[in-house]
Copies of this chain bind each other. A is one copy, B any other.
Amino acid sequence: MKIAILPGDGIGPEITAQAVKVLKALGESFEMESAEVGGAGYAAHGHPLPEKTLALAKAADAVLFGAVGDYQYDSLARALRPEQAILGLRKELGLFANLRPAILYPELAGASTLKPEVVSGLDILIIRELTGDIYFGKPRGVRECPDGPFAGQREGFDTMRYAEGEIRRIAHVAFQAARKRGSRVTSVDKANVLETFQFWRDIVTEVHKDYQDVELEHMYVDNAAMQLVRAPKKFDVIVTGNMFGDILSDAAAMLTGSIGMLPSASLDAGNKGLYEPSHGSAPDIAGKGVANPLATILSAAMMLRFSLGKAEQADRIENAVKAVLAQGLRTPDIFEEGTTRVGTEQMGDAVVNALA
């Protein structure tokens, strides 16, 4: 089995290195090959998603992705900026289903800005559609405003859109995931304002007929943003579109106070997926050896489970992570009085040791 390793920028290389170390320690024979992506792709080959990198990702059974983005690329034209790499990979590999668990580890309950009783035991799964919506809809651009009070002025515009089949397949993913958890799905939309999401609501309701054992609730996105703050534990699985999912999944991750712990999976219609931490490239701490590698290590566990058919190895990694937390080891982002502060490599080593 072949894994493409795309470390990227900022802390990407250091955290990815720890995940690779953990994967190697499993005693399986994975073929791993690395390539530049993001700012590093631009620096090496003039494009954030170089052809070689895309070809490697396409040929692999799974992709382990670090993070992209760094200050020196901020002034590039949009088409050359690091984040185009991740948008391109999603689209080119057909990674339409983004799974982002927001889990609060009992040991880290204090890290949250929310009161312990509101978040302790939090375990929600956000499923974000990843290849449709206003992210890729056309036409888009800057044009002359055709009518209304601003006619003749320049206007920026984009197209939001979802086709029936796109909604159906992500709804199936959500209902199936819910069956393995609390059997409840909250579909988040803005059906009271947007045609796209009235249509979304109609289709999700239709797909639900095949899953009568799963409870379905529809919720407006503004209300969902409120409920995530007010009573996040009421959610089990949240399914939503690309744009709303971008916002809500980050808010949900931040509820835990430990975004350095949260993995993600972006899956295609088969078994292939791209796995990356939920946090970003954090260029301010890059190269200092202080970044938390656990989100990336846990992303590797998701990869084993979803793409490589190695659920037991995934369990081993997840248990090892729990063990190092129980040992009191903490990178600075999750450090608290009374625990032991460790760096990126030490944390990776501790997970390797805990595998045994």
Contacts and interface: CB of A to CB of B under 8 A. Distances in A.
Interface string A80-98: 0101000100000000000
Given A87-B193, A135-B193, A159-B157, A250 B230 contact: no
A246 B188 CA distance: 14
Given A159-B159, A159-B160, A165-B153, A223 B250 contact: yes
A225 interface: yes
Query: For the complex formed by this chain, how many copies does it contain in all?
Result: 2
A221 B247 contact: yes
Contact of A229 (B162, B194, B254): B254
A275 interface: no
Contact of A160 (B113, B160, B199): B160
Q: Considering residues A118, A134, A140, A153, which has the most beta carbons from chain B within 10 angstroms of its beta carbon? A: A134
A223 B223 CA distance: 19
A166 interface: yes
Given A114-B113, A247-B221, A156 B196 contact: yes
Contact of A161 (B118, B156, B230): B156
A198 B156 contact: yes
B230 A253 contact: no
Contacts of A244: 247
Interface in A134-163: 134-135, 137, 140-142, 145, 148-150, 153-163
Given A113-B118, A166-B150, A195 B250 contact: no
Nearest to A144: B163
A29 interface: no
Interface SS majority for chain A:
helix
Interface in A70-116: 78, 81, 83, 87, 113-115
B161 A155 contact: yes
Contacts of A196: 140, 156-158
Interface string A245-258: 01111110111010
A164 interface: yes
A192 interface: yes
Contacts of A155: 161-164, 199
B153 A161 contact: no
Contact of A154 (B81, B135, B199): B199
Contacts of A154: 163-164, 199
A273 to B, nearest CB: 19
Contacts of A137: 157
A222 B141 CA distance: 22
Contact of A150 (B163, B230, B250): B163
A306 interface: no
A200 B254 contact: no
Nearest to A116: B115
A356 interface: no
8 contacts: A134-B134, A142-B199, A150-B165, A157-B161, A190-B243, A225-B248, A225-B251, A228-B251
Interface of A: 78, 81, 83, 87, 113-115, 118, 134-135, 137, 140-142, 145, 148-150, 153-166, 190, 192-200, 221-223, 225-226, 228-231, 243-244, 246-251, 253-255, 257, 259
